[in-house]
Amino acid sequence: MTALSLHGALYLALKTEGQVKHRAVRFARRAWVATVALTVISVPATVLGRPATLAHYLHHPIAFVFPLIAAVCLWMVRLNSLRSSSLWRFLASCGYLSSMFLCAAFGLFPVVLPAVGTQGTDLTVDQVLSAPHTLQVGLGWWSAGICLALMYFCIVYRLFRGKVSVDDESYGHS
């Protein structure tokens, strides 16, 4: 939650000016401290709660690059906040979130949905795998959908490029 709050504040700082930007930057600094603290607490808690996660990393040591990237990106958020570089702070936050998702996915694999408690059974990739025809149809629909999503992203990015001007009556472009 704090990482997403940090990310949102950094985006707001990127897209605004004046008092709104300064408030977003101040909030982002506090959210950064909370994100670092919760990251430092959650990693050992994950290993204690699910020891198989560490076993996956030890079996494939190259995967330690994901937590390293997360740490570097989190540090870059702080480093760039000292330099007032809104774009690089936001991109570093994107990198942190992406690498943390990769850390979690790698630590869980081949489990898709872990069971809670001792009574349940984890759902694994083998158990949730669909038939080949279903996968082919899904790939076709996914390809069309991702093309539409990318087109939408490009159009929206083009329409709302620039910073929001607080003084204007409507959305302004810098």
Q: Which residue has the higher pLDDT, 115 or 42?
A: 42
| Main-chain phi, psi angles of 124, to 5 degrees | -110, 170
Asked if pLDDT for residue 107 goes beyond 70, the answer is: yes
Q: Which residues contact 35 (CB under 8 A, 6 or more apart)?
A: 2, 3, 6, 74, 96
pTM: 0.83
Q: What is the DSSP string of 51-116?
A: THHHHHHHHSGGGGHHHHHHHHHHHHHHHHHHHT-HHHHHHHHHHHHHHHHHHHHHHHTTEEE---
Asked if pLDDT for residue 19 goes beyond 80, the answer is: yes
| Alpha carbon distance 29, 80 (integer Å) | 11
Q: Which residue has the higher pLDDT, 153 or 49?
A: 153
What pLDDT is stored for residue 171 in this prediction? Answer: 54
Asked if pLDDT for residue 170 goes beyond 60, the answer is: no
Q: What is the pLDDT of residues 70-103, one digit of tens each?
A: 999 999 999 887 777 889 999 999 999 999 999 9
**Range with lowest mean pLDDT among 42-46, 105-109, 118-122:** 118-122
